[in-house]
Structure 1
Amino acid sequence: MQIKKTIWRTALVTVAGLALGAVANQNQTIHGAQVSVAAVPTATGPSTITINYVPGYGIAMWNTYQANRYVVGPKLMHGTSWRVVKTVMVDGQTWYNLGGNQWIPATHTVAGTQLPLPTPTNVTGGIKINYVPGYSIAVWNSFDSSRKATGQLLKHGTSWQVTAKVSYQGQTWYRVGTKQWVQGQYTTFTDYQVTRLLGVPFIDQYANGAPYGCEGASALQAMHYKGRLAGWNLQQLLNTMPIAKDNNPYHGFAGSPYGETPGVHQTIFPQAFDPWIAKFNPVKDISGTNLQGIINQVKAGNPVVAWVTIRFGAPQYQKFFWGTGVSNLHVMTVDGYNTKTGQVHVSDPVLGRYWVTNAQFNRAYAPHQFAVAIL
């Protein structure tokens, strides 16, 4: 029974044959009994308690705190508050008397009329706003009942990083920034511990007239994802690429990206690739790392340029004057992973965007283990 007054008032109601009363302030109903209680051993306890169980569910009342007790009356629902007539301690357990033969254990209660706020759980994930096309959802400064809109709006279809989540009053909330929370009902959540797909765009090296330009194409599509060199095409980037006069890929690109150079292993290795791309976008050379190291970069939002093989086929080794190379070498961008299926996702400048098994990737990646994260 709710009484919307700022002063206290007592009223009697009857529930399931039990004489119960209600006392209310502006926001909270506090239930209590108006009957006497037989003498029992007492302990110090709160004057009111609130049921802290599971939203939408309640706890049982018992006719006594003793071992031969049985359930009486209605369940007391999560979030409701009740006046305590007497408190007893029996065999190390606290029991509250709510009037007459109406007892509950203290296990699923908190003192006072307010439930404690739940503690947010830190997560590594992201949400996609799933509302109404053309409309947005509000961002709030908190998830509790005192929350206020920040004035920021997140558009339908946009994606956002999430650092924490919490369940409050039956609803999930996600933290997208400091004092920035959104309602979970309008989002789709992805747990980055399980999977993530960055969505790096596909740049076709053949359509751009560079059949040997996979390194540049992989770098450019990763930089486009990062929002850099947005107006550049592949040829513009390749025109800035260092060319190795001695055809050593450790010194620059060996040969030409635009056509075959007989007897030359046409590629560029990270030692020359890194300073070239770093002129346009920060990079981190993670060469020598395993697949998990690559996945960790993608999890952090950084696509990785990786030196693998054409169609992830078995490596075909070949001797060159500078050392041993892989004649079926190919370079592409890793931009996703799925730990449940054991796959990684790539943007291949020849074949497009697709998934490949971890085993296939590891075999193709093993010869050089060259990898550069685009930050």
Structure 2
Amino acid sequence: MTTKFLAAAVLLLGLAGLSVPAKAATRSTTIVSQGKVTKFGRVTGNTKGNLYSFKTDSQGTLTMSPIHYLKNYSKSAWIASKTAWVQKANGKRYRYDYVTETTNVPNKRHAGWVLHQDLRTPSEVNLNAPYISQNAVKAWMGCESASLLEGLHYKGIQNSTGLVAFMKHLPRSKTNNPNTGFAGSPYKVTPGVFQSIFPKPLAKWGNKYTMVKNISGASVATLRSQIRQHNPVVVYVTLHFAKAQYDHYFWGTGIDNSHVMLLDGYKSGYYHVSDPNQGKYWVSAKKFKRSYNYKHFAVAVQ
């Protein structure tokens, strides 16, 4: 981490009733270092913390003022991008993180400095994304479309659109190559065709409605980070999380028992999914990781 040493500055606490009279400030409070951190998602679990602004005047005096109270954002997700170590007048050092709220509306993103321990990485998250059945409309091969629509509905997008109407806009591959669009028909089995649409064209389709990103190659840790940021992830696994069954096609090697679902939660030893074929449930981390790691195909609905 690159460290920048800043000039010593007096910290004026902005919370009502907590400001320190000038006569009592016998020792200064300083920022001793700051730098960038690897971005990661967090969800507040502490309603007593605050977001602060750090400001310095022409004399180098630092003012720290509360601008938002975390109790008002108990379900918000935040991204930490910077860190600063502050040595207060009592001689102790405290870590503050600069965080930005995740939202699809840029001008409504709250941001500020927060005490590191006031914004905790959760051990369990369940976004509880809506379930859409592919079987109810006889879309036996439509798991990719259903999973993407589940993610869009979670984000409050296309809520009045059902799966049949949604799939009318499903991009098709003229050559039955899932790398360029959906191969075959989502409503029937087409012999000799690998009936799927792969992450790149699926993400391109999703981007017509909101920000959807192809994050294929991501580790399961990265998937958890997306969930912490309230971004459900369309994941390519195997049916019933079984061992992969490979076959060769003109475009490459495919997994014949491939299946797609929406990942929307995790806890110790388990992952939560909204499976268009079987409903919403928890699956063991061991089964999920083995099945996901065959391809590492993933699309985040952001």
Fold in common (TM above 0.5): yes
C-alpha displacement of 1:193: 3.2
Give the match for residue 343 of structure 1. Answer: 270
Give the match for residue 196 of structure 1. Answer: 125
For 2:244 and 2:111, locate their aligned partners in 1 and report how far apart those are by CA, in whole Å: 48
Give the match for residue 246 of structure 2. Answer: 317
User: Could you tell me whether the CA contact under 8 Å between 2:178 and 2:197 is conserved in 1?
Assistant: yes
Change (3 A) 1:190 1:210: farther
For 2:172 and 2:298, locate their aligned partners in 1 and report how far apart those are by CA, in whole Å: 20
Alignment-mate amino acid for residue 234 of structure 2: V
Runs (4+) of structure 1 moved beyond 6 Å? Answer: none
SS in structure 2 of the partner of residue 207 of structure 1: helix
Give the match for residue 304 of structure 1. Answer: 233
Give the match for residue 234 of structure 1. Answer: 163
For 1:152-181, what per-residue CA distance to the aligned partner results, in whole angstroms no more than 9, with x for missing partners?
A: x97xxx962276xxxxxxxxxxx99669xx
How high is the sequence identity, in percent, across the aligned residues? 40
Alignment-mate amino acid for residue 218 of structure 1: S
C-alpha displacement of 1:191: 4.9
Pick 1 or 2: higher relative contact order, CA cutoff 8 A, min separation 6: 2
C-alpha displacement of 1:323: 1.0
For 2:192 and 2:77, locate their aligned partners in 1 and report how far apart those are by CA, in whole Å: 51
Give the match for residue 24 of structure 1. Answer: none
Say whether residues 1:329 and 2:258 are aligned partners: yes
Say whether residues 1:360 and 2:297 are aligned partners: no
Map residues 1-375 of structure 1 onto 2, 5 A cutoff: 124-126=42-44, 160-161=75-76, 191-338=120-267, 341-375=268-302
For 1:159-212, what per-residue CA distance to the aligned partner results, in whole angstroms no more than 9, with x for missing partners?
A: 62276xxxxxxxxxxx99669xxxxxxxxx995431211111110010122111
User: Could you tell me whether the CA contact under 8 Å between 1:128 and 1:160 is conserved in 2?
Assistant: no
C-alpha displacement of 1:220: 0.3
User: Could you tell me whether the CA contact under 8 Å between 1:203 and 1:349 is conserved in 2?
Assistant: yes
User: Could you tell me whether the CA contact under 8 Å between 2:176 and 2:182 is conserved in 1?
Assistant: yes
Give the match for residue 39 of structure 1. Answer: none
SS in structure 1 of the partner of residue 205 of structure 2: helix
Change (3 A) 1:141 1:345: closer
Change (3 A) 1:300 1:213: same
User: Could you tell me whether the CA contact under 8 Å between 1:249 and 1:267 is conserved in 2?
Assistant: yes
Change (3 A) 1:358 1:190: farther
Unaligned 5+ segments in structure 1 are 1-110, 113-122, 130-139, 143-149, 164-174, 180-188
User: Could you tell me whether the CA contact under 8 Å between 1:127 and 1:162 is conserved in 2?
Assistant: no
User: Could you tell me whether the CA contact under 8 Å between 1:334 and 1:346 is conserved in 2?
Assistant: yes
Alignment-mate amino acid for residue 282 of structure 2: W
For 1:162 and 1:220, locate their aligned partners in 2 and report how far apart those are by CA, in whole Å: 22
Change (3 A) 1:192 1:350: farther
Change (3 A) 1:264 1:358: same
C-alpha displacement of 1:309: 0.6
For 2:199 and 2:130, locate their aligned partners in 1 and report how far apart those are by CA, in whole Å: 22
Alignment-mate amino acid for residue 275 of structure 1: K
C-alpha displacement of 1:125: 2.1
C-alpha displacement of 1:292: 0.7
User: Could you tell me whether the CA contact under 8 Å between 2:77 and 2:230 is conserved in 1?
Assistant: no
> Structure 1-normalised TM-score?
0.52
User: Could you tell me whether the CA contact under 8 Å between 1:252 and 1:268 is conserved in 2?
Assistant: yes
User: Could you tell me whether the CA contact under 8 Å between 1:307 and 1:368 is conserved in 2?
Assistant: yes
Change (3 A) 1:162 1:256: closer
Higher strand share: 1
For 1:141 and 1:366, locate their aligned partners in 2 and report how far apart those are by CA, in whole Å: 38
Alignment-mate amino acid for residue 350 of structure 1: N
User: Could you tell me whether the CA contact under 8 Å between 1:127 and 1:161 is conserved in 2?
Assistant: no
SS in structure 1 of the partner of residue 135 of structure 2: coil
> Structure 2-normalised TM-score?
0.64
Superposition CA RMSD, Å = 3.9
Give the match for residue 117 of structure 1. Answer: none
C-alpha displacement of 1:330: 0.3
Unaligned 5+ segments in structure 2 are 1-22, 25-40, 53-67, 79-98, 102-109, 113-117
Higher helix share: 2
